[in-house]
Structure 1
Amino acid sequence: ASRRAIEAAGRQPGEIDLIVVATTTPDQVFPSTACLLQSRLDIHGCAAFDVQAVCTGFVYAMGVADNSIKAGSARCALVVGAETFSRLLNWKDRTTCVLFGDGAGAVVLEASDEPGILSTHLHADGDYASLLQVPHGVSQGYDAMQENAAFVEMRGNEVFKMAVNTLGRIVDETLEKNNLRKSDIDWLIPHQANIRIINATARKLRMSLDHVVVTVQDHGNTSAASVPLAFDAAVREGRIKRGETLLMEAFGGGFTWGSVLAKY
């Protein structure tokens, strides 16, 4: 995914000066997946680190990279969302195992005088952690880790209600901060959690599903990879055109949520 993004941007790996990888399923406890990726791409010396915000991870990573470029600490950033969620699934629990998938997507962000990312909006509320979690790790629930029993636990109905309400608010916030109307958005690129949440967000925007990128039927919920995978599919299929205004939004465990408003 990273090599394809770098090639599509017309850049060489050596021109990348920041790598941000959004993942909940890192290759190792450490080093970071970003550092391992940096080595595989034969890139040396630039900052490389992971961001963990579950399904909102790619949106968080875009926000971090965008702010780094605006601050002048980077000029050409590789932003990746990658997951192997199949490793976290209890295949006897149909409330979760049928929903998730594995995947990776990447983009290259560069400093430019022309508008690209117009704004990013990132939020979290840890009080809701128990509604969607893997409650095991090296400090808590370590026995389950050793027994290969560290699985996703989700209270689906409660997550659905929170997701719909929260994504509605993030849409309003994004539009208000940019003095835009709902009709100004050409494409909605949502996190591919499930079609019910996607439909509810589209209704909030009063947007036809013809202008909502939906790929959940192809690869399920790939967590941090879902937004870049959907974006890539729409670009390759010729649906998204240069100059169009895109709203990317996501909601995930934590809870975390956020949006990216961009001009493609």
Structure 2
Amino acid sequence: MSHSPQPVISATGLYTPSESISNDELVAAFNAYVALYNRENADAIAAGELSELTESSVEFIEKASGIGSRFVVDKDGILDPAHMAPRLPMRSNDELSVLAEIGVAAARDALARAGRDAADVDAVLCAASNMQRAYPAMAIEIQNALGIDGFGFDMNVACSSATFGIQTAADYIRAGHAKSVLVVNPEICSGHLNWRDRDSHFIFGDVATAILVEDKDIAPAGHWDILGTKLKTVFSNNIRNNFGFLNRTHGTIDQAGPKTDKLFVQEGRKVFKEVVPMVAQMIVDQMAVLDLQGSDMRRLWLHQANTNMNRLIAHRVLGHEASEDESPTVLDTYGNTSSAGSIIAFHLHHDDMVAGDTGLICSFGAGYSAGTVFVRKT
């Protein structure tokens, strides 16, 4: 009898930068920048030509997002009121890129947890919000650094990149094109955040995660069966990042770096109002397809962008206010890490689950994009 491949999650990996910025530190730096800006532009502000900037506060940040701190690859550059961006020296073409470096670290963690050698992996998908360059693909660089004989490519669906990557890897397993696929999510979100924007300067942090998706026949004990996946995209301008290779032809890059309209920008209230019902309905519909009820769901590992969004989505799915145990958060220490957020939540909050427990990894963000991965512990 021929074998019908069944994709499972064998393990996940996590790389966390050594430096962290608290809300207190971030607010102090931001308010120093505000004071500097208002002082240097006092005449224009008095003449009504420019608007005076408003200070931020810890209370504002925590009420708006639930974020308490964030890990970053370069703390000093971000907290410098005269710079307010990470300082990452250019590396030569013979050196491992920053994005690949943290991706390799997360991938090695996942491989070690699965007891898997890199030589056993057939493919690498680098699924993340922002790629360090157009080509060669970061996935191929990670593949080369790990010594994997196979193929790799980059994919970007913003904050849903990881779940889209998991379904893509699962499809390769089902089709027999691979038996072991690494989905790697290196996110240096501090590089595309406008740290001078009061409405969003607190949102993002840096991190890398990895997911090893394999054929059940070779997976280690204690793996996670993938019960089903569902992806959805709906075009929206409410979250944008316009930075790209064509920007140079429009004169939007100078010695000070990209203009602010080529950094992360969003209409937060519109996003909240439109994304929450869309994602909640998507989850409920997919649960019906899989014959699952809210009472069947042991845990929800939701995208880590906003505590209020997660609270409302979890309530719709479970039918009651979710406890921290049912819908854990990592926002308080990691901030929003784009595609890696739901994977961090899963990675850090699944060891207590037992065979038969069912959970959901869910992402949502720019695009709009949304992805669900229903899993069951074996």
Question: TM-score by structure 1 length?
Answer: 0.93
The equivalent residue for 1:11 is: 116
Deviation at 1:136, TM superposition (A): 2.7
Q: Of 164, 170, 174, which residue of structure 1 is paired with 2:282?
A: 170
Which runs of 5 or more residues in structure 1 are unaligned?
Answer: none
Larger radius of gyration: 2
2:293 is equivalent to residue 181 of structure 1: yes
Structure 2 equivalent of residue 106 of structure 1: 210
- Partner of 1:55, secondary structure, is coil
RMSD of aligned residue pairs (Cα, Å): 1.7
Asked whether the 8 Å contact 1:53–1:253 carries over to 2, the reply is yes
Where do residues 1-264 of structure 1 align in structure 2 (5 Å cutoff)?
1-44=106-149, 46-112=150-216, 116-126=225-235, 128=236, 130-139=237-246, 142-146=250-254, 147-149=257-259, 150-205=262-317, 206=319, 208-209=322-323, 210-235=325-350, 238-264=351-377
Task: Classify 1:27/1:137 alpha carbon distance in 2 versus 1 (closer, same or farther; 3 Å).
Answer: closer
Alignment: residue pair count: 259
Residues 95-154 of structure 1 deviation map (CA, whole Å, 9 limit, x = unaligned): 12201111111121111159711111011112x1x1001123123575334532321010
TM-score by length of 2: 0.66
Q: Name the amino acid aligned to 1:134.
A: N
What amino acid does structure 1 have at the position aligned with 2:251? D
The residue identity in structure 2 corresponding to 1:59 is: T
> Structure 2: which amino acid aligns with 1:262?
V
SS at match of 1:226: helix
2:301–2:346 CA contact under 8 A, matched in 1: yes
Cα drift, residue 174 of structure 1: 1.6
SS at match of 2:280: helix
Verify the 8 A CA contact 2:123 2:148 in the aligned structure 1.
no
SS at match of 1:250: strand
Q: Distance in 1 between matches of 2:251 and 2:284?
A: 43
What letter is aligned with 2:172? S
Please report how far the alpha carbon of residue 80 of structure 1 lies from its aligned counterpart in structure 2 after TM superposition. Answer: 1.6
For residue 109 of structure 1, give the secondary structure of its aligned residue in structure 2: strand
Whole-angstrom CA distance in 1 between matches of 2:305 and 2:251? 29
State the SS of the aligned residue for 1:116.
strand
Asked if 1 retains the 8 angstrom alpha-carbon contact of 2:125 and 2:184, the reply is yes
* Structure 2 portions without partners, runs of 5+: 1-105, 218-222
Q: Cα deviation per residue 1:28-64 (whole Å; 9 max; x = unaligned)? A: 22111111111111212x1201110111110100010
Identity of aligned residues (%): 28
Deviates more, 1:8-17 or 1:243-252: 243-252
Residue identity matched to 1:195: T
